[in-house]
Structure 1
Amino acid sequence: MDLTKNTPENVEFMVEAIKEKLRMMNIGAIKPSSFNSDMYEELHDIYNMVMKKNNFSPNEMQAIAEELGRLRNL
Structure 2
Amino acid sequence: MDLSQKSPENIEYMIEAIKEKLKMASASALQSSAFSVEQYDDIYDLYDVVNSKTNLSISEVEALVSELGRLRRV
- TM-score range (shorter-chain normalised) is over 0.9
Normalising by structure 1, we get a TM-score of: 0.93
Sequence identity (%): 46
How many equivalent residue pairs? 74
Note closer, same or farther for the CA distance 1:72–1:43 as it changes in structure 2 (3 Å cut).
same
- Where in structure 1 are there 5+ consecutive unaligned residues? none
SS at the partner of 2:6?
Answer: coil
CA distance in 2: counterparts of 1:39 and 1:2, whole angstroms:
17
The Cα RMSD (Å) is: 1.0
Deviations, residues 11-55 of structure 1 (Å, cap 9, x unaligned): 000000000011021344110000021110000000011001011
Residue 66 of structure 2 corresponds to 66
2:53 is aligned to: 53
Q: For residue 7 of structure 1, what is the aligned residue in structure 2?
A: 7
Q: TM-score, normalised by structure 2?
A: 0.93
